[in-house]
Structure 1
C-alpha cells in the first residue's frame, strides 16, 4: 500500500504503510518514532543530527544472530560429547574383547602340507655383463677403440659363463631344499618326535595364552602329543560387563561372582579347544592331544598355588573332527575330553586346582613348569 501520513496534534504525526503503523512525536530539534516493533530517535545537536534505533522483533537480524549464537556448541558441550563418544567406544571394545575370549575356537587353522620350494629365477645376465664391462673398461683409455671393443666382447662372454654357473648353483640349492622339505614332511607324517614338537611350537608361538608341546610319542599304538597351556586367574576377568540403560544407552554394570566365573570358564574352554584344533591342523600324525592347563595366580593364598593345574583331558582326533566348532559351547566342551579333570565348587562355581595327591602324574610336570612360569 502507499504510504499515508497525517497530523493528529501539534508535534504528533501518524503514518501507515505496508510495513505497519508508526507514530512520530517531536519537531525538527528532536523526534521519536515508534511502531512495528521498532523505535527510532533523532536529535539535532550543535547543528549535527544524530540518530539511533532499537528493535524488539524476534525476527530482526539482530535477534536471529543471537539465536544462532545460542545454538553454537560450547567447549563444555564438545567436551561432554567427546567423553560420551569415548565411553561408547570403550564399551564397544570391552564387548568385542569379551566375545573374542569365548570364540577363539571359531578360528580356522590351515592344515599342514608339504613345503613348496619355488624354482629359482634365472640370474640377470645384463647386470652381470654391465658390472664386468665397468671393471674391464676401467683400465682402458677412452680413445683405445679396439681395446674397448675387445673388452666389451669379453665382458659379454664372461657374463654368459657367470650366469650359467650361478644358475647351476641355484638349481642345486633348489633340489637340495626340495629334498629337505620332502624329508621333513615325511618325518612329520611318520610322527617323528622332534619334528612334531617343532611344528607345534611354531604354531603356538603367537597364541594369546602360552602353550608349549612338552612331549610326543607313541603309546599303545596311539600317536600322542602333550601340550601345557598357561592360563591366567579369574582376576583377569573384568569386574564390569557391557549393558544398556532402560533408555538404550550403552553402559556397564558390575559383574557378580557367578557371572565372572562363568566367563572365566568359557574363556578357558575356548582356549583349550583352539589349542586342540590348531594342533590337529599342523600335526597330521597326532591321534590324540593330552592337554594340561596350569593356572598362574600370584594372588593365591600360598606360593605353592601360584602355579597349579586346573584342567587335564585327552582329546582324540575323532572327537575333534566331530565338533561343530561354530556351535560348540566352550564350557560344555571342557568335559567332552576323555578322563577330563576339572572341578568347581560353591554356588558361584569357583574353579579349584586339581588335587596332586590324587593325580601323581601331574606332580613332576607342575614342579618342572612352576619356576619357568614364575620367571
Structure 2
C-alpha cells in the first residue's frame, strides 16, 4: 500500500488532520533547527532525511515518508495531544515500509526482463479482479509495445501439490517455450497459479491435424487437444498433477481480466462437479455453471426429492453406467464397448432405471433430468 492510500485511515485513527507535504532538503534542515523535538532515526548525525525521521514544533509533527533527489515527502500531522508512542509507531511503520521497498527493488534487479514485466502485469490483473469497478483494458505502459494486442490462446495452470516447492519462473518459462513456442507470455498469479498465453498459430497447426473444416466445434477440439498435450507435458516434466483450463483466443490487451476470471471459474467448476478431472473446458461446463448459480438450499431440496424416487442413482454400477452413457452422447453401442459389457446388459440397466424412476435416458428430456440429478448428487455428497 502506498503512502497516499493510508493517509485517510491514519487520519481516522488519530482523529486529527493529516496530509502529505513536499519539502526540500533545505526546508527540512530549517525545521530541525527550530523544532521543539527531533528524531533522526538510527543515525542522529546524518543530515539526510531518512524515512521515519520526524520533527515536532508547536503541536505539528512532520514525519518523513520518502526522500528522492533531496525532495522529501513528509506526513504532516496537526495534533498537540499525540502521544510519543503513537509517533514512534508511525515512524517505525514508515521505516519498515522503506526497507521492504528496498528489498523488493533489489530482488527485481536480479530478475529477467520478462519476469519483471510479468510481475507488474500480475499485480495489475489482481488489482482489477479485486476491484468493484475493474478496468478491462491493460494500460499502455503494460502492453509491451503493442505485442499484447495480437490474439493469443489463454491457459490457466493450478498446481495440485501445495507442499511442493514452486519451480522458478525461468524454469517454467523455458519449458513452455520448448513445448508451445518462443513467443509465449507467462504470468504468475496467486500461489500455485499461473496464467499462460500461447500464440494463435498453435490453433492453426492443431486444426490442420484434426480436420479440414474449421467450424466452431473443430476450434474447440483443437484447443482441447493442445490443452491435453500441455497438461501431459507439465505433469510428467515439471510439477506432477495439476489442473489446466483453456479458453478461446483473445487479445490480452483487451480481454486479460475477463479471461482470467473465466478460467478461474472454469477450474473451480471442474474441480467441484468433476472430481478426478484435470482438464477443464469452459464450453463443456455450461450446465455446471447454471447449476452452480442456484442457491445450495434449493439444489439440496431438488436432489432430496429426486433421490426419494429411487436409490439407483447412488449405486456405483449405475453411476458408472450413466457417466459413460452421457460421455459418449447417449450412444448405446459405444457405451457397452467402453464398459466392456454386452449391449443387452446395458439395455437391461437402462430399462431397470426407467422402471424404477420413470426416466428413460434414451429420451432427450429424461436424459437432461438425470444428468442434472447426477451433477447435483456429486456436489451434495461431498458437502
Q: TM (normalized to structure 1)?
A: 0.23
Point out which structure has higher relative CO (alpha carbons under 8 A, 6+ apart): 1
Question: Comparing both structures, which one devotes a greater share of its residues to helix?
Answer: 2
TM-score, scaled to structure 2: 0.23
The structure with the larger Rg is 1
